[in-house]
Structure 1
Amino acid sequence: MVLVLDPHTSKIISSCCKMSDLLERGFVAIQNIENVRQSIDLPATYFLDVSGQDDDAHDDDEKILMALTADFSEGKDWDPVSKTGKLLKKKYLRAYVHATSTLQKKLIAKVLAQERRFVASCRALDEINIDFLALESHVFLLNQPYVLDTLIRSNTGGGMGESTRLIDRITKQLVSLCIMLNEKPYVRFEKPTSNSNCEKLLEMLASTTNFEATLRETTDKLPNWKPRPNPATLLFLNRTTDMAATLIHHISYQSVLVNVLGMQGDVLRVEVDKRGDEGKAKEIKSYVMSEEDDIWARQRHKHFDAVKNELYAEMKAFKEKSLSQKVKEGDGLDMDPKTMLKVVKDIPKYREMARQFNKHNSILKAAGAEINKPGRIQAMTLLQDLACGFDSSGSSVSPQSLWSAISDLLAKPDTAYLDKMQLALLYVITRGGMTSKEEDFFESNLQPEMMTVIRGLSHLNFNTKKPKNTYNLERGHLDMMKTRLTKIRNEKKIETEKEQDAKRKGQSFTKKAHYIGYRYLPKLHWVCSQLIEDKLDQKAYPWNNPPPKSGNRGMSRSTGFSVRRNRHKRQQSGMGSGDKQRLIVFVLGGITPSEMASVYEVGDQYNMEIIIGSTDLITSEEMVKCLSQGAIKKDQDLNPAVIQSANI
């Protein structure tokens, strides 16, 4: 069997399957429908993205369907009546066609009417409702980057039609997620606080006439589909209400890899020392950072420095226990047959663990070099201060009090381009605008397109003129961060006292690290906690179709489910039970690694399953390009640390 994919479905498949999984199921070849292919005397399974409204067929959809039917075309020169001319050979023996979501009836009828041999060769034509990427066990993406760019254009009066099509597309993709999860959720959304089209479109997306109607229309066509007895809550949030999460440097391992080294999806390209050359020569390595990597799965949400310390400790402990390492170092093991057998069995595990340690050690080294570049640590601290409104001691700070340090960094030529942009943007947001003096400074020290980016904030309803109202965090959000900082400071104080006491007694003491600089919690963290505790303001976050008043919306204790549908792990852990209360969070405009980490943390804290998704991962670089309104091209490289793929 041959598997034929398009660019979108290729990403869907690669997000949840390995090549070995496909080979086990009888697929001997995987081909891109957009490429020129040779005929193969095998049946083919097509998995294609053919979506859209019946009355709004898009060129790309028609192009893919035409490519599908062309695989079975008899040829323009062939006359089926007289059987004369050149008869083309079919690409495959038979076709089994599966679409990601609702098929367009008019478009299909138009295309199929022209290709009789395809109709005769087609053995299946159906919709399987999988139209999203499973990035992690509790994270999904819709593979739609630069959504904010579209929303900003709609705000400037140049793209409302495109925005409406975008909302239709997102709706269908979310419906496919809910169908796969057997969810008919209660819907709640972040109420618009301005006339910004970005906020209005979120309300449109969450509306009962849009999402709920599309879900009902789709499930009515699935007679065997049944929703879970304990429906989830689907919460729609707006990216623009927490811009700080996209602009500050979060110091978790995953955030550093995405924002500093430019990891794309789960693939990271990094320059490492070439083996055997003692650091003199370099080579480019590509690493896949998946949940099958045990170190990555355990460490990705931890502070970058904590990962370094724990990795080195793990490496040391592993070497001490490994029989293979002892033999390699020749420390005189009694090599009787029983010991030799243990050593042989230990070799594969030793090699795999050594490979994983070397991989993460190389990545940490490359990331550490970028973090320690001139001005970056200071920029990270200032961004945290701006976002939180208090410093590492817990004392309140205002944007104006930080201006001197910020302006010094902006004026230095060796400060990184993106660091300058992040500081300038977050300063204007938290300051509530900029004075004429500050604007003059920006114009004198920043490039012209940078000023376009700063002024682009106005399209997201941020003031970019004379400051009026200073940006203030929600009181509960601020209190949550301060409480967290106080706890960390107290723990650090106790650890320091224990360390000093151990030194006086001549005892060894392993000090636990506490990272005070890692202060900012995404707004999503607080919102999810409030919703689970049933404290979330219903005026600011109203229901579209509320649950029964007697229903508890968050404290069930059963086991949950994974969007990656890993059958083996579900069987081991009991995942898949329909009893657990589930929260699905969708952020229109992109999510950050820090928000992904928050979902896992809040879920563990309340013993509850939370699934987060968005149109795509968003970085500070993408935010800058969206705000530039075309002044900075999407393919323009703003981060020199990112190593581009040679296969572009």
Structure 2
Amino acid sequence: VKKDGEWKVLIMDHPSMRILSSCCKMSDILAEGITIVEDINKRREPIPSLEAIYLLSPTEKSVQALIADFRGTPTFTYKAAHVFFTDTCPEPLFSELGRSRLAKVVKTLKEIHLAFLPYEAQVFSLDAPHSTYNLYCPFRVGERARQIEALAQQIATLCATLQEYPAIRYRKWGPHPNALAHAVLAKLNAFKADNPSLGEGPEKTRSQLLIMDRGSDPVSPLLTLGWPSSGIAGLPAPQDLAMGSDAEGEKIKDAMKLIVPVLLDPAYDKIRVLLLYILLRNGVSEENLAKLIQHANVQAHSSLIRNLEQLGGTVTNPGVCWQQAVGSETGQKANVGMGGLPRRVRAWCLGGWGAGAFGGMDAVEDRLDRKLWPFVSAPAPTSSSQAAVSARFGHWHKNKAGVETRAGPRLIIYVLGGVAMSEMRAAYEVTRATDGKWEVLIGSSHILTPTRFLDDLKMLDQKLEDIALP
């Protein structure tokens, strides 16, 4: 819609503003002939001499605000409209647009499918941090199906933008990964019906989408990359608690005794260590939990600690250690929870724990346990020969003249409940470990830091009216 010597107004809602600001600067926008950028939900002065470009999410609120701009008399707010929706516009809203006065002046109406944030070259965010609350809080059971549908639409949009029609599989853990995997398949099938060439290519048929639940690996978000020991002699690093052994590989015999000095640290640091200890033990007795909370002086956060159970974790049920539980489920040794990464990659991952249920290397080598990671859509037949792979990696945040299509397969990983920094780093490492033959993309509703993860847990026993959703 750009014309030389002609200026336009750019109008966005909050989600589209987040998307645009994540991938370009104001100078880039001005270079495209934009003279002013406005928020559609704020009061604006009419500029009837200029045409307007609308970049909007297709929601009821944004569509009604768009219609209102062309309801006035004797002149409209703007001369004409070029409307771009970030996702598929629901049929009822589309019909309402057609019946409005906007239909007389609209020059462009497109769905451009950008319902995600390009966080990094191989990391994406759906910008939906509230989804953790909707999916895991017992007071939000009625919202879960709607939230799954919304996430599925965004994930399918991401795949379509990347020209991928991947085989879909999910990590067995609670009801959400299964439900989301089937919902994404339905959305992708709709995209495929509109664009039969989606995902075609000798190598692209090998692409996969893995869906996992945060509850299958609650350790990774509790650790920062390279989180050191507290500096107290004899005290294990948090990574040691996560692994159940020290840096020399010796099993930690009395973790309770070793964590006591940590309990003098700031509240959230103490809670992180307590949760790691609880996960190491696969739950503790009510008596021990009460003593730990009292000794750490975190009584005000006791519900936060117990809320780990909303993710499927065990807080007050003593049993085998967490690693043994993972090992027995997969039929392999404990550190296979790291996805079966080869020794050189696994050693690197342990610098920041790695990706507990990540499975990235196993997926690209077709070694994922099909009982633990079942398919909801048939995988492409494997081939011993591989076509030449493009060196281009489809970095969606770059401003390019055309759409860049990657010839090789992609592994797209979606983590319900937030993605940890160590998992993001593992995506790059697995890509390098395959010499670029595969590109691993990972993302979630939002990016987790340890503090953000604990904040998410804190909300899971509270009613909506008592909290402020992110």
**TM-score bin (small chain):** 0.7 to 0.9
- Structure 2 distance, partners of 1:615, 1:459, is 18
Pick one of 531, 535, 540 that aligns with 2:363: 531
Pick one of 162, 169, 173 that aligns with 1:181: 162
1:242 aligns with 2:217: yes
Q: Where do residues 206-605 of structure 1 align in structure 2 (5 Å cutoff)?
A: 206-207=181-182, 210-222=183-195, 226-229=198-201, 230-231=204-205, 232-251=207-226, 375=230, 381-398=236-253, 401-410=254-263, 412=264, 415-445=265-295, 446-472=297-323, 473-474=326-327, 475=332, 478=335, 483=343, 518=351, 520-525=353-358, 527-551=359-383, 557-567=389-399, 576-605=404-433
- 3-state SS of paired residue (2:77): coil
Aligned residue in 2 for 1:144: 128
Relative to structure 1, is the Cα distance of residues 63 and 548 closer, same or farther in structure 2, using a 3 angstrom cutoff? Answer: closer
Relative to structure 1, is the Cα distance of residues 122 and 140 closer, same or farther in structure 2, using a 3 angstrom cutoff? Answer: same
Cα deviation digits, residues 137-195 of structure 1 (max 9, x gap): 11111001143222222xx3x32231111111111111111111111111111123xxx
Relative to structure 1, is the Cα distance of residues 65 and 617 closer, same or farther in structure 2, using a 3 angstrom cutoff? Answer: same
Relative to structure 1, is the Cα distance of residues 486 and 220 closer, same or farther in structure 2, using a 3 angstrom cutoff? Answer: closer
- Structure 1 residue 630, shift from structure 2 partner: 5.3
- Structure 1 residue 555, shift from structure 2 partner: 9.1
- Structure 1 residue 622, shift from structure 2 partner: 2.6
- 3-state SS of paired residue (2:451): helix
- Structure 2 distance, partners of 1:578, 1:486, is 27
1:203 aligns with 2:178: yes
Relative to structure 1, is the Cα distance of residues 174 and 481 closer, same or farther in structure 2, using a 3 angstrom cutoff? Answer: closer
Aligned residue in 2 for 1:30: 37
8 A Cα contact 2:412 2:442, kept in partner? yes
8 A Cα contact 1:131 1:142, kept in partner? yes
- Structure 1 distance, partners of 2:187, 2:57, is 18
- 3-state SS of paired residue (1:220): helix
- Structure 1 distance, partners of 2:267, 2:372, is 36
- Structure 1 residue 31, shift from structure 2 partner: 1.0
Relative to structure 1, is the Cα distance of residues 432 and 477 closer, same or farther in structure 2, using a 3 angstrom cutoff? Answer: closer
Q: Which amino acid aligns with 1:131?
A: A
8 A Cα contact 2:115 2:158, kept in partner? yes
Q: Which amino acid aligns with 2:53?
A: T
1:109 aligns with 2:117: no
Q: Which amino acid aligns with 2:193?
A: D
- Structure 2 distance, partners of 1:522, 1:463, is 20
Q: Which amino acid aligns with 2:106?
A: C
Ranges in structure 1 where 5+ consecutive residues have no aligned partner:
51-60, 75-86, 193-198, 257-370, 489-515, 637-647
- Structure 1 distance, partners of 2:386, 2:315, is 40
- Structure 2 distance, partners of 1:483, 1:39, is 63
Aligned residue in 2 for 1:21: 28
- Structure 1 residue 23, shift from structure 2 partner: 1.6
- Structure 2 distance, partners of 1:465, 1:588, is 24
Q: Which amino acid aligns with 2:260?
A: S
- Structure 1 residue 524, shift from structure 2 partner: 4.6
Ranges in structure 2 where 5+ consecutive residues have no aligned partner:
1-7
- Structure 1 residue 8, shift from structure 2 partner: 0.3
- Structure 1 residue 112, shift from structure 2 partner: 5.2
Q: Which amino acid aligns with 1:26?
A: G
Relative to structure 1, is the Cα distance of residues 191 and 553 closer, same or farther in structure 2, using a 3 angstrom cutoff? Answer: farther
- 3-state SS of paired residue (1:583): strand
- 3-state SS of paired residue (1:392): coil
Moved more, 231-240 or 478-487: 478-487
Relative to structure 1, is the Cα distance of residues 137 and 394 closer, same or farther in structure 2, using a 3 angstrom cutoff? Answer: same
TM-score of the superposed pair, with normalisation by structure 2: 0.85
1:126 aligns with 2:148: no
- Structure 1 residue 624, shift from structure 2 partner: 1.9
Relative to structure 1, is the Cα distance of residues 425 and 164 closer, same or farther in structure 2, using a 3 angstrom cutoff? Answer: same
- Structure 1 residue 617, shift from structure 2 partner: 0.5
Cα deviation digits, residues 269-316 of structure 1 (max 9, x gap): xxxxxxxxxxxxxxxxxxxxxxxxxxxxxxxxxxxxxxxxxxxxxxxx
Relative to structure 1, is the Cα distance of residues 201 and 403 closer, same or farther in structure 2, using a 3 angstrom cutoff? Answer: same
- Structure 1 residue 382, shift from structure 2 partner: 3.1
- Structure 1 distance, partners of 2:288, 2:37, is 56
Relative to structure 1, is the Cα distance of residues 62 and 422 closer, same or farther in structure 2, using a 3 angstrom cutoff? Answer: same
8 A Cα contact 1:429 1:463, kept in partner? yes
Q: Which amino acid aligns with 2:133?
A: D
Cα deviation digits, residues 78-129 of structure 1 (max 9, x gap): xxxxxxxxx354221111111111112223434653x42x221211222111
- Structure 1 residue 379, shift from structure 2 partner: 12
Aligned residue in 2 for 1:162: 143
Relative to structure 1, is the Cα distance of residues 13 and 477 closer, same or farther in structure 2, using a 3 angstrom cutoff? Answer: farther
Alignment identity in percent? 27
Aligned residue in 1 for 2:119: 135
8 A Cα contact 2:216 2:357, kept in partner? no
Aligned residue in 2 for 1:272: none
- Structure 1 residue 228, shift from structure 2 partner: 3.2
TM-score of the superposed pair, with normalisation by structure 1: 0.63
- Structure 1 distance, partners of 2:233, 2:18, is 38
Pick one of 43, 51, 59 that aligns with 1:43: 51
- Structure 1 residue 548, shift from structure 2 partner: 3.4
8 A Cα contact 2:341 2:361, kept in partner? no
8 A Cα contact 1:382 1:402, kept in partner? no
8 A Cα contact 1:442 1:451, kept in partner? no
Q: Which amino acid aligns with 1:596?
A: M
